[in-house]
Amino acid sequence: MIKNNDKISENQTTILIFTTILGAGILSLPSDVAKEAGPDSLIVVLLGGILALVFARIIGHIASKFPTETFVEYSAKILTKPFSIILNIGLIAYFLIFCSLNLRIFAEVSKSYLLNNTPIEIIMITLLFTSGYIVRYGIEPIARMSEILFPVMVVPLLIIFLPAIVDLDLSNFLPILRTSPLKLLRGILSTTYSYSGFEILYVIFPYIMKGEKLKRCINVSLFSIIFFYIYITFYTIGIFGYKETRVQLWPLLTVIKSINFPGFFIENLESLIMGIWTFAVFTSISSFHYTAALSLSKLIKAREHTYLVVPLIPIIYLMSLIPDSIVKVYRYATYAAEFLTLFFIILLPILMFLILKIKGIGVKDDEKN
């Protein structure tokens, strides 16, 4: 039985999905899409977002059929139990991998822009234990923190680009619709890392106060993130052009560094944005850490997820140290996006949705209220 003080509101659910998606991927998104789609990058970001919305809705629909259960429990009902155990182990590994990737990218960026003399190991350990502290108390504090920090994260990022409107060159988006279908498809695939995060819906549905409002939460959060990503990509490519953007490692920070904000008292705007971005990454890491701990606790039938939060910290830490350079970090992120994400957010939801329809199990739509 889940207590009411462990549940999150409709607004908190919407913001939690948004902030979990808005993690490390935002920094490299313009570069990722520019490499594949060139001047058609905005189209790719839009199509990638629409696909994310569709599959988020499918995952949400599946979860809503079992309102008191997480993926660990209901996957055994939809699929065979041995197969569901393998899937559960895979999903836990998936959450841990994305948590470790976000952690390592955060540490690398922080060391480059803010903490030049601090070893990345110290940065990662500090963030992990801070995350572990809040994760131990459950999803409600994570969602409440996201709700409080949301305007701090989003509003400055929207405002800070406004002075750069005079530097936009719309010819950077020409010629339009000249990208081959194969490259467009590869471009859409390159957005999967940046759009990952809504998979937490596999786990968090029982903790949503008004589960019947989940469709609206998904729609608002995904449309918001699509707009936000298009906004960021539009300004980045509009200023640098796609040829320059695709050779940048973190084009978002580079373009912010080039913006002159008149009358602003902070000289290095990228440091301010780094501080804001830290909140987004922290929320994303905390969400993945929590869903991994909760799923593992359900799998091994532990009484509380709190017992597993700290033991997972060294695992996440060691996984984040596997890549020996930032280039390999993004290479592994690409592999994770192309293979793991393809399975867990596209193939698996389709398979489970079809089996659910054939078996006719789960709560009926008219019984959800």
Of residues 62, 63, 201, the one with CA closest to residue 139: 201
* More confident: 55 or 252: 55
Torsion (CA) 295, 296, 302, 303 in degrees, nearest 10 = -30
Q: Which of 252-256, 259-263, 363-367 is modeled with the greatest confidence?
A: 252-256
The residue with tokens 């089996």 is 355
* Owner of token pair 């079992």: 66
- Check if the beta carbon of residue 285 is closer than 8 Å to that of residue 103: yes
* 114-131 pLDDT tens trace: 888 999 999 999 999 999
Question: In the numeric block, which tokens belong to residue 235?
Answer: 């300004």
Q: How far apart are CA 355 and CA 79, in angstroms?
A: 8
Instruction: Write down all domains in the chain, each with its CATH number in brackets.
Output: 8-367 (1.20.1740.10)
The tens digit of pLDDT for each residue in 287-313 reads 999 999 999 999 999 988 999 999 999
Q: What is the mean pLDDT of the chain?
A: 89
Please tell me the distance from the alpha carbon of residue 191 to that of residue 32, in angstroms, as a whole number.
7
